Amino acid sequence: MRSAVNDLLGAYDKLIMDPVHGGIPLYRHEIAVIDHPLFQRLRNICQNDILSLVFPGATHSRFLHSIGVMHVGSRMFRAMIDAYLRERQLSDHSDLTLSQLDAIDYLTKVIRLGCLLHDSGHSSFSHQFTKARRIHELMAHPTRFEALWRGEDYTRYYPQPPRELEHEHYSVRVAHEVLSAIALSNAGLAPEDILGVMETTDVQPSEAFCRHAITFWSFIAGEDASSGVLDQDDVPHMVMGLLSSIVSGEIDADRADYMLRDGFHSSVTIGGFNLDHLLSNLRFGWDVGSRWLGLAITHKGLGALEDFVYSRHQMYRKVYAHKTALGFDWLLREAINEVLDEPEIFDWVDTCLSNMTDFTELTDSFFWEAFRRYARKHPKSYSKCIVDRIKLDHLDTRDNLSADEISAHCDYLVRALGLNPGDVVTCSMRARFSNIQDNFNGIKVLIRDPVTRTRSLKQITSVSEFFSKFSDGTITHFYHQPTLLRR
């Protein structure tokens, strides 16, 4: 088994060339994960469902996005380590011990695999799949979770079965299947630690993780690490929370990659931000009294964070909520519901959602073929619209309407334009920005006194007014159905 020192020196086994990040190094156990059929299926799932019908370049896959997230997550963690070492060496010129190197190496590997597998449970057309009514009903079946885990022990990850399954639950199930199939012990890793940093799980860290977490905490917190305020079990869970925030948080590797990748492949410049500048200003933050360990950003890095948030806001409004894109999303969901009316398709999808071997079949290709077959038999169908790119006719767009106001505006358009009420449809996207202020209060601003060199943390919204400007916004588009679908 290769030593931590060799891994930290970059002795990788393979290099993938990525159009967004350039060369991405891979290690032996990561290659084994990527080569597994359940991960390879992500090659056949587009990152942005059918956004390519509007932005033709947006054909990039969940496969490369997942590898990109792994790369960014690793960079985030190591950037904070590097910054801490630079600042620490200015005062005491201390070097890392082997146990500290080993701890950093272990946590880095956990982050990388957590990021790599975070989206492995996505099915055909990503988020639109679970939004389709018939699919939602299938995933909400009361015995679905038990069927999905038949023969496997899920209690390490879920003390109680979830009430309703989402794609995150499938990611955990896929991760368990994949990690059980590879020689993970050769990398010195415990699978529960990787699944513990993924969404929806509640995991007791392994003995190895607890040992490395305590070493890591002592290394970064210095004198604060010996505080009697913390219990023995606090530190591993604090460290796991830190790693989880890198995998899935407000400043996380997932968002950083998909914003850059979606902007690049859509040729939309509004999604751009300076990742290097953002990473160079990330720091570890902790508060022993509140048992908090998380991400902090330097005061001079606030501009980079503001660019990150604004770019995300603009991508939602200008790309993900584009009037034609949302219209095709609506047609896609109806087409999925439509083909599931065929018993053979319904039964097979039902089987795939409960069996990991068959789950590999749930790709975009499966449904594209189903749409083509259905469209040949039913030329006046939603499937025909998807196959031949027949879009909804856009009528109007309104912001922040209530359900009653949406209904009233539909009635107005029907009367004013002389339309059949059944031919007017609406699509809404809620840009989830109301939580920015609250969630960014969990990301602290690191203030350092230039004379005493003492550190203090402040809530981000008390330092920058920028993050208080965002609120939830709902964009609603109104459409007239295509001629072939009109009643």
HEC string of 6-69 equals HHHCCCCCEEEEECCCEEEEECHHHHHHHHCHHHHHHHHCECCCCHHHCCCCCCCEHHHHHHHH
Angle (deg, nearest 10), helices 207-221 and 234-247: 90
Asked if residues 406 and 297 have their Cβ atoms less than 8 Å apart, the reply is: no
Please tell me whether residue 313 adopts helix, strand or coil conformation: helix
Asked if residues 372 and 455 have their Cβ atoms less than 8 Å apart, the reply is: no
pTM over 0.85: yes
Asked if residues 26 and 34 have their Cβ atoms less than 8 Å apart, the reply is: yes
Please tell me whether residue 472 adopts helix, strand or coil conformation: coil
What pLDDT digit, counting tens, does each position of 160-197 carry?
999 889 999 999 999 999 999 998 988 899 999 999 99
What pLDDT digit, counting tens, does each position of 69-108 carry?
999 999 999 999 999 888 776 555 567 889 999 999 999 9
What pLDDT digit, counting tens, does each position of 21-79 carry?
999 999 999 999 999 999 999 999 999 999 999 999 999 999 999 999 999 999 999 99
Pairing of strands 424-431, 282-287: unpaired
- Residue 345, H or E segment: helix 343-352
Higher-confidence position of 190 and 270 = 190
How close are the terminal C-alpha atoms of the chain, in Å?
A: 67
What pLDDT digit, counting tens, does each position of 334-366 carry?
999 999 999 999 999 999 999 999 999 999 999
CA 450 to chain centre: 37
pLDDT at residue 109 greater than cutoff 60: yes
Positive or negative, the CA dihedral 171, 175, 176, 178 is positive
pLDDT at residue 1 greater than cutoff 50: no
Please tell me whether residue 342 adopts helix, strand or coil conformation: coil
CA distance 207 to 193: 10
Tell me what the pLDDT averaged over the chain comes to: 90
The pair of structure tokens assigned to 422 is 């059944």
CA distance 31 to 456: 41
- Residue 158, H or E segment: none
Mean pLDDT for 233-253 is 92
The pLDDT of residue 9: 52
Listing DSSP states for 209-232 in one string gives HHHHHHHHHHHHHGGGGG-TTS-T
**Per 3-state DSSP, what percentage of the chain is helix, strand, and coil (rounded to 5)?**
55, 10, 30
CA 466 to chain centre: 24
